């Protein structure tokens, strides 16, 4: 499976959607539109990924969990490079090529602390990738910033994940 090189989430006011661009180390780029509803689903899934981190889940008190989460977030964001411009891949995207809208979200929390995330359009190829908790933290930051730019009211909603197996939404 190809590794993620770069992720960009940019709010587009004309579309009232977030354009998610992901480039991989095999020089392929994937683009998909995220709606407000879909963004909320992704954020819930990513936050669940952080909850299974052994450093967080082993804490007994809620305040200890929050302290460890804050510390891990600070560490991850110090290492992230949000200033580097998104490098366009060699594959061009002509104007007539349409970017699909995300329709289905599949995710599974893996035993080794990783998360497999699939973002799929109604038809056609989707994006399938594996995230570390550090990448999830940076991804949450990017997606939240894009949602705030669109003045989307992002609220924490309880998640459909039960702690076992896979989840499919839509």
95 or 32: whose pLDDT is higher? 32
Does the residue 162 lie in any domain?
Answer: no
Q: What is the pLDDT of residue 25?
A: 77
Greatest pairwise CA separation for the chain in angstroms: 54
Specify the number of domains making up the chain: 1
104-108, 117-121, 149-153, 163-167: least confident range: 163-167
CA dist 56 and 60 (Å) reads 9
Does the residue 161 lie in any domain?
Answer: no
pLDDT greater than 90 at residue 41: yes
Kindly state the percentage of the chain with pLDDT values over 90. Answer: 35
| Separation in Å, CA 145 to CA 51, 123, 130, 134 | 21, 28, 22, 17
Does the residue 121 lie in any domain?
Answer: yes
State the CATH number of the domain containing residue 69: 3.30.2450
Q: pTM higher than 0.85, yes or no?
A: no
Kindly state the percentage of the chain with pLDDT values over 70. Answer: 83
Q: What is the pLDDT of residue 96?
A: 45
Does the residue 16 lie in any domain?
Answer: yes
Does the residue 146 lie in any domain?
Answer: yes
155 pLDDT band, cuts 50/70/90, is low
Does the residue 167 lie in any domain?
Answer: no
6-10, 32-36, 100-104, 152-156: least confident range: 152-156
Q: What is the pLDDT of residue 93?
A: 52
Q: What is the pLDDT of residue 90?
A: 57
pLDDT, one tens digit per residue, over 54-105 is 788 888 888 888 888 888 888 877 887 767 777 765 555 544 468 999 999 9
Q: Residue 108's domain spans which residues?
A: 4-152
160 pLDDT band, cuts 50/70/90, is very low
CA dist 158 and 60 (Å) reads 20
Does the residue 9 lie in any domain?
Answer: yes
Q: What is the pLDDT of residue 151?
A: 92
Instruction: Pinpoint the alpha helices (H) of the chain.
Output: 36-51, 54-57, 62-79, 133-149
Does the residue 17 lie in any domain?
Answer: yes
């Amino acid at each position: 499976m190809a590794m993620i090189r770069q992720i960009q989430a940019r709010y587009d006011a004309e579309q009232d959607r977030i354009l998610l661009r992901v480039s991989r180390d095999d020089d392929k780029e994937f683009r998909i539109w995220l709606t407000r509803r879909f963004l909320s689903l992704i954020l819930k899934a990513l936050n669940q990924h952080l909850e299974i981190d052994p450093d967080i889940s082993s804490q007994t008190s809620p305040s200890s969990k929050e302290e460890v989460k804050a510390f891990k977030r600070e560490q991850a964001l110090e290492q992230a490079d949000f200033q580097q411009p998104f490098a366009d891949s060699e594959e061009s995207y002509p104007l007539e090529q349409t970017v699909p809208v995300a329709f289905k979200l599949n995710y599974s929390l893996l035993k080794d602390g990783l998360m497999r995330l699939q973002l799929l359009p109604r038809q056609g190829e989707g994006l399938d990738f594996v995230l570390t908790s550090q990448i999830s933290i940076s991804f949450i930051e990017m997606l939240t910033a894009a949602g705030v730019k669109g003045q989307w009211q992002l609220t924490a909603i309880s998640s459909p994940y039960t702690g076992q197996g896979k989840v499919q939404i839509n």
